[in-house]
Amino acid sequence: MERKRIVSGMRPTGRLHLGHVHGALNNWRSLQEDYQCFYFIADWHALTSEYEHPEIIKESINDILIDWIAIGLNPEESVIFVQSGIKEHAELHLILSMISPLSWLERNPTYKEQLKEVAQRNLYTYGFLGYPVLQAADILMYKAHGVPVGEDQSAHLELTREIARRFNHFYSNVFPLPETLLTPEAKILGTDRRKMSNSYGNAIFISDSEEIVTTTVADMITDPQRARRPDPGRPDFCNVFTFHELYTDKEKVKEIDEGCRSASIGCVECKQMMASSLNEALEPLREKRKELEANPRIIENIIDEGNKKARKIARDTMEEVREVVKI
């Protein structure tokens, strides 16, 4: 039986960190067991905000693809591609833009929020307003059954369904309405206890070396109430402990939990143990990254193949679309 299809993308605006791993990639990897997955680099979406300094896009694409493969996205099973390699996305975006009411786009909560929050860039552009229309094109192109995304993307998925409904209503029932497959939020925070993000300088990157991970972890903020070494700590309020729960053996986690509460272990030691668990988990990814960096052809081939498979479906969809739109 044909497996159900899912589609998801990531904007190439910097290196991937553990927030991406726990907020998306681990889930993407396991979805491969049950779905036919289409995972792509949303480079045109990145351009909506990075248009003044697009260098970051090019730099990030290869690096992100290396991380994806290192972490276990499997190009034999999944279609891994780059959005701008499939020009049909631009054509579908254009056609969908004709039927997307301005009011829907202007009231999009993500849009309003970003305009307010992102002060260092001018986002009052036509392209940025149309961001969710391009996203709808990405998803509908492959007639996706579902889209694995975080909560921050729910409004965009709702818009995708509204646009699909409108298209189907005007022309013909071409697009199935895609479901939102909500990824649970990453429990881990950045080193300063804010959300992990490239722009806060609080991230641990997949590609960080052992030394960098160790020094970054040493700087992490722990339970703020454990100000001095003899104070007992509260693992439930400590981000370092959350990492232990993900990366350290269960037995040892129990010891740390008790040691923290009774102040028999200190934060310095606790962080050293955490860094070593984390480094152990990242080591195989570093190995794989090295191999892929040494042979750039591997990633090139993955994208050539992935783009080919994606393009084939995109062409079929566009034929159908042009026919019903009578263009």
CB of 123 to ligand SF4, least distance (A): 38
| Strand spans (E) along 120-240 | 146-149, 179-182
Shortest spacing between CB 48 and ligand TRP, in angstroms = 10
> CB under 5 to 8 A by kind: which of ligand TRP, ligand SF4, none does 267 bind?
ligand SF4
Contact 78, 36 (CB under 8 A): yes
* CB closer to ligand SF4, 50 vs 223: 223
Residue 149 contacts which entry, ligand TRP, ligand SF4, none (Cβ below 5-8 A, type-dependent)? ligand TRP
Candidate residues 64, 136, 203, 240; the one interacting with ligand SF4 per rule CB under 6 A? 240
Q: Are 73 and 28 in contact (CB under 8 A)?
A: yes
The vertex-192 CA angle with 57 and 188, nearest 5°, equals 75
Distances from the Cα of 221 to the Cα of 5, 184, 238, 241, 280, angstroms: 41, 24, 8, 11, 22
Q: How far is the CB of 133 from ligand TRP (least distance, A)?
A: 11
**DSSP label at residue 22:** I
Per-residue burial over 142-155, b = 16 or more CB atoms within 10 Å of its CB, e = otherwise: bbbbbbbbeeebeb
The rounded distance, in Å, linking the Cα atoms of 15 and 56 is 10
Determine which residue in the list 12, 14, 23, 233 makes contact with ligand SF4, applying CB under 6 A: 233
- Mask: binding to ligand SF4, 259-288, rule CB under 6 A, as x and -? -x----x-x--xx-----------------
Query: Which residues from 128-147 bind ligand TRP, rule CB under 6 A?
Result: 135, 138-139, 147
Smallest distance from ligand TRP to CB 40, Å: 8
Q: Specify whether the CB–CB gap between 204 and 217 falls below 8 A.
A: yes
Site for ligand TRP in 215-274 (CB under 6 A): none
Nearest to 272 by CA among 186, 193, 214: 214
Could you say which of ligand SF4, ligand TRP, none residue 238 binds, taking C-beta under 5 to 8 angstroms by partner kind?
ligand SF4
Task: Report the SS3 class of residue 141.
Answer: helix
* Residue 216 within binding range of ligand SF4, rule CB under 6 A: no
Binding site for ligand TRP (CB under 6 A): 7-9, 11, 42, 45, 135, 138-139, 147, 149, 153, 156
Applying CB under 6 A, which residues contact ligand SF4? 222-223, 226, 233, 235, 238, 240-241, 260, 265, 267, 270-271
